[in-house]
Amino acid sequence: MNAAGAWEFMEIKGKKVAVVGLGKSGLAAALFLRRRGAQVTVSDVRSAEELAKEIPALIEEGIAVEAGGHGLLAFRRQDLIVVSPGVPVDTPELVVAPGMTAYVNITVAQRKDALLVPNAALRFHPAKTVSQKDGMRKREARQDDGQGGGTAGTVYVLENGQLNPVRVVIGITHNRMSEVMGNGLKPGNEVVVSDIQATEASNTHRGMRLF
C-alpha cells in the first residue's frame, strides 16, 4: 500500500519467477504468472515420472520445469520466488533464496464473540462528491467512543430497500475485517460494501453488494 492508501502490485511482465512446489496452488500460480508475461520456472522434489501429468501442460505454456529437487542456481537467478503452501518452511534451499517476502499475521489483541464487518463496509458511503466523503471521514476520525479509545465510523444497513446509516465504534482490526461496537448494529444485519452500477444501452442499472 502506498502513501495515498492505494494498493500497488508488482509488475510481473518479463520478470523471472520461480514457483516452488507443484501442488494445485503452485500449478495455478505458475500458469497465472506465465499468462501475465513472466518467465516462469517451476521446481518440485518429485521426479519427472511422478509429474508426468503436469509437465506437458507446463511446457506447452512455455514454463521451464525442474524435477527431482531444487537447484540453488535456479533460485539465485530469479526476481521473485513463489512458494506453495505445501512446501515445508524448513526446506534448505529456501533459507538462502534472495529477495523472499513473507506475509505473517501476528496476534496483538483478541476478543471473543466480537461483531465483525468487512473493512469495505466501513469505507463505503452512498454516492457523494469526493470532498463530502473526505469531510465525513475526517469528522469520524475525530470522534471518540467515550470510553477512552476507539475510532468512530459508519456502516450502511439495507432495510426494506432503504440505506440506513449506523454509527459504530471500530475496535480490533486486521486487513479484511474489523470489530465494531455499538447498539445500532446487530448480528445478521446486511451491511453494504459497495455500490454497483452498470449501463446497458440507455438504461442504467444500479445495485448494492451486501455482506
Q: How many residues does the chain have?
A: 211
Closest of 205, 120, 106 to residue 155, by C-alpha: 120
Query: Which CATH architecture group holds 16-95?
Result: 3-Layer(aba) Sandwich (3.40)
Query: Which pLDDT belongs to residue 84?
Result: 86
3-state secondary structure of 120: helix
Per-residue pLDDT at 197: 54
Alpha-carbon span 192 to 125, nearest angstrom: 9
The predicted structure's pLDDT at residue 91: 78
Sequential pLDDT tens for the chain (211 residues) = 444 444 455 688 899 998 998 888 899 999 999 999 999 999 998 999 999 999 998 999 999 999 988 876 567 778 888 888 888 877 777 765 555 565 666 778 888 888 999 998 998 888 764 444 555 555 544 444 434 346 889 999 988 888 899 999 999 888 788 999 988 888 888 888 887 654 344 344 445 555 5
Q: What are the Cα distances from residue 171, in Å, to 104, 191, 194? A: 21, 17, 22
Q: What is the pTM of this model?
A: 0.45
How high is the pLDDT of residue 104?
64
Domain ranges across the chain: 16-95, 116-210
What local confidence, expressed as pLDDT, does residue 168 receive?
92
Tell me the HSE value of 47 on the side-chain side, using a 13 A CA sphere: 2
Beta-ladder partners of 118: 177
Instruction: Give me the pLDDT at residue 151, please.
Output: 86
Q: What is the Rg, in whole angstroms, of the alpha carbon atoms belonging to the chain?
A: 24
User: Cell numbers of 133, please?
Assistant: 466523503
What is the reported pLDDT for 77?
Answer: 76
